[in-house]
Each structure stands twice: as structure tokens, then as C-alpha cells.
Chains A and B, each alone.
Chain A
Amino acid sequence: DTAVSQTPKYLVTQMGNDKSIKCEQNLGHDTMYWYKQDSKKFLKIMFSYNNKELIINETVPNRFSPKSPDKAHLNLHINSLELGDSAVYFCASSQLTGTETQYFGPGTRLLVL
């Protein structure tokens, strides 16, 4: 029983394409997050949703658009992919924001060629 799942695990695509990553959590948490981990393993928050509402929106290009159809799902759509978008994208969830334990998914490894 996976707590936080992401699909796909690997994504290889060409520059300029549009792609989506999906995330689901079965922990009953109210808050979900998207993080980007670059090649140097630096993990940076991109977005956070609480009960389907956007609460954190970091300085992320507007080519990235998160969508939360319900509080158990948080998807990430990326338009016009660029080489610099290559990274591992992690979804996470927590009951509340910040101090509460964040549970991370296994990550989606995106490679833009």
C-alpha cells in the first residue's frame, strides 16, 4: 500500500513538448506539495496545495501549472519543456503545513532532450 504514489517514474521527452506528472496520496492528508530536485540533489519547493487550494507558489515559470482535482491528488503539467527542466520531481503530502511530517513519493525522473 503506497502512501504517496507518482506516475510516471521515468519520463524522457523532447524540448518543446508538453507533459504531465500525476500524484496521489492515500493518507487522508490535507496538504500536498511539488518539489524539484536538481542534479546536485538540491530540493526546492515549487507549489503547495491545502485542500485543493494553492497556498505556496514559488518563483516557478508559468509553464508549470499544478492542478488539484481533489485533496488526494495533485498533478503537475509542464508546457514547452526546456533542457533545464530535467530533474527529479517529488510529490509530498502532510496533514498540515510545515512542521508536520511530509511524506514523499518515489519521484519522477524527467529528462528533456
Chain B
Amino acid sequence: DVKVTQSSRYLVKRTGEKVFLECVQDMDHENMFWYRQDPGLGLRLIYFSYDVKMKEKGDIPEGYSVSREKKERFSLILESASTNQTSMYLCASSLYMTGGPPTDTQYFGPGTRLTVL
């Protein structure tokens, strides 16, 4: 079974702190994603990566950055946390289909509920 793990289930930080959220997948997937989940808004894509050291902005990248130094690990960084970044953060991965669209199933981690005070 594919396993996607996230470094913390719950995290409380103060405004202005630098926050690292880590995600690790164990299935050699090419694609990795960071989403933010808020009630009534569904999931919104922050950043994604199709390969090591490669990153692409999603719909709401402002205030966030990412790092993918190794294939299995995708980190989300909040450079200076703000209260409006209080949310549930979900990481996902999927297998890249060479020559075709990445329509393969996305596998999700358990999520990190971040509270910024």
C-alpha cells in the first residue's frame, strides 16, 4: 500500500514564525502536491512538483514556498506565518504516467492542522 506521511497531525505556531511541514511518500511517485483545506472551500492547490528540484505554483502560492530535494520528500514552508494561514494542510502524491496526463490516483497523507496564534 502507498503510504504518505506528514510530520505532524497538529501544530500551533505564533505569528511571524517560520513553519516547516514535511511530507514523505514511500511509493516512488513522481508527483507530489500540497493542498490547503478550509470548510466550504474544498481543497485548494498551493504548490506541486513533478520531479526532484522542480516546483510549480498552484492556485494560492502566496505566503508559501516548497522544497523537493529528494524524490520521496516534499516540504511546505511558511516563511512568516500569519493567522490567515490557520488551516488543514494535506499532502498528496501520484504516479507519473510517461507520455500521458497524470490522471493516476492521488494518495493523501493524514493532514496537518496548523493553528497560527
Do A and B interact?
A: no
Q: Which A residues have a C-beta under 8 Å from some C-beta of B?
A: none
